[in-house]
Amino acid sequence: MIVVNTETVPGREIASVLGLVQGNTIRAKHLGRDIAASFKNLVGGEIRGYTELLTEARRQAIERMVGQAAELGADAVVNVRFTTSAVAAGAAELYAYGTAVRLVGGAAGAVR
């Protein structure tokens, strides 16, 4: 599956648009990471625990989005966007969405 956030797959032609596909996940932080985070609130700097948590969550959201696209028989997902929201105390939602498309020549088709 080709995943891009440009409006088309550069160098390729879109054969048909299949519609919006999306994936999301809501993750809660755990206590150990929270302790490290409150320490970082004291001295400042990157909170690696949270970066990892959100990186993992984002990966899963993309995976679910790509899964939906595969079900539709898509070759690519274009114009992918993200939003993150803090839904409840200690939990964050990561949401990825894009448009599933079929390409002229299929996923592995030759570049024009």
Partner 1 sequence: MIVQLFDVILFAAGLLVGLMFGSLNEQRHLRSLVVREASGEDVMLVNLRHVTDPETVRDAQMIVGQVVIATDYWKTFITSLRRLVGGELGAARRLMDRARREATLRLIEEARMLGAGEIWNVRYESTMISQMRDSKAGAMQVEILAWGTAVRRR
Contact 3, 77 (CB under 8 A): yes
How many angstroms separate the CA atoms of 8 and 101, rounded?
9
Asked if 101 and 16 count as a contact pair (C-beta separation under 8 A), the reply is yes
Which residue of 18, 21, 47, 74 would you call a contact of partner 1, by CB under 8 A? Answer: 47
State whether residue 28 is helix, strand or coil.
strand
Map the footprint of partner 1 across residues 2-31, applying CB under 8 A.
2-12, 29
Binding test (CB under 8 A) with partner 1, winner from 14, 20, 26, 54: 54
Pick from 35, 91, 104, 107 the residue near partner 1 by CB under 8 A: 91
Q: Does 74 bind partner 1 (CB under 8 A)?
A: no
Distance (Å, whole) CA 90 – CA 70: 32
Q: Which stretch binds partner 1 (CB under 8 A): 16-24, 33-41, 67-75, 99-107?
A: 33-41
CA 110 and chain centroid, separation = 26
* Contact positions vs partner 1 (CB under 8 A): 2-12, 29, 37, 40-48, 50-51, 54-55, 58, 79-86, 89-92, 111-112
